[in-house]
Structures are given as C-alpha cells and as structure tokens.
Amino acid sequence: MEGQEKERQVISAELHDSINQQLSTAKIYLDYAKANENERDELIGRSADVVTRAIQEIRALCYSLTPVGLKDMGLEEAVEDLCLSYSSVGKLKTEYHYGLGGISLTEDLQFVIYRVIQEQMNNIARHAEAEFVRIEMDYEAGNIIVLISDDGKGFDLVTVKEGLGFANMRNRLSVYKGKLEVDTAPGQGCRLLVKIPRK
C-alpha cells in the first residue's frame, strides 16, 4: 500500500510538473499568437511542438501504468519491447540479454522485475545523459540476477539522495526478499544490480 501511494504521488507530480506545464506553455503561445499576426505562424508552430511532447509523455505515462504485452508476451519479450521503445526514437542504444529460459517465474514476480527495469530505464533517460544501456537477466547460485548498466554521467552516492524511484524498486523487491545495489560515481555511469532469491 505504501508503494502504491508513492506511485500515485509520482504520477500526480508528473501530471502537474511536466504535462500541465507544457500545456500551459502551449496556451500562452496561442494566446500571444492571437494578438501578434506577424509572429502567428511561428508561435502556432511552437505550440504544436509543445503539445506533441505532452502527448508523447502522456503515452509514456499510460504505458508505465499498464505494460502492454506482459501477460501476452511474457517478461522476455516485454522487456525487449521496452528497450525498442527507447532505441527506436533515438533516445538510447540498448543491448539486452535474457538468460532466464527454463526458470519458472510467477506473473507477479515478472511484473516486479519489469517495473524495476522500467523505472531504471526512465531514470537513465531523464537524468543520466547516457547513450548506451545494457540489460542482463540471469540465474546464478539460487538467485535471479538483473543488471542494468549505462554509460551516463553517474552521480555521487554520498551527496545525492535516492529518490522515490529507488524507494519504489526496493519496496517491490522486498516482497520477494530481493536486494538492490547501486554502483556509481561521477563520470563513471551507473550499475544497478538486483538479486532475488529463487530456488
């Protein structure tokens, strides 16, 4: 319940701080265009660009709430589709390795793993200034291993506090006694390692 409440707060903040602000900006452009005939075409063009970005963010937010295909395709293909959604628009080059073939995963556990990967991909796209991401899933010594590494700017774990995204990941993983480790430093990218005990 705590995790769900935090997710609602994140969604509310995303709607207010990002999408609402973009639509407000578009309205300002349009209002100004009404009174300035000489700049009208340019202002309408700017407004259209802002509205397009808002539409894309709404789609991404809807996708994050209901991961299309996870039930139908399974975890392997759903994560592949997630990677494609970033690489196809030129945001990130991705490399993906799935080594959990033959490992039985409940639907709930697949959902948790997917959400963790999705959250970290979102973090990377928004904050890391990365060009490349590698996602690896394997089974080692009785643990499901998920490793997500990027070549971004990294950050100082001592001075930078973990945000709600990391808290949500830890909350989800705690149900399965899973652990999350972050290895990063300024200028050295970031490695997020997940271990979930699973016999």
79-118 residue pLDDT tens: 998 898 888 877 789 999 999 988 989 888 998 899 899 8
User: Is the whole-model pTM more than 0.75?
Assistant: no
On whether the CB atoms of residues 163 and 183 are closer than 8 A, the answer is no
- Fold that domain 70-197 belongs to in CATH: Heat Shock Protein 90 (3.30.565)
Distance CA(192)–CA(78), nearest Å, equals 19
Backbone angles phi, psi at 194, to 5 degrees: -115, 135
Residue with the bigger pLDDT between 165 and 177: it is 177
Whether 65 shows a pLDDT value over 90: the answer reads no
pLDDT > 90 fraction of the chain, expressed in percent and rounded: 38
132-159 residue pLDDT tens: 999 999 999 999 999 999 999 999 887 7
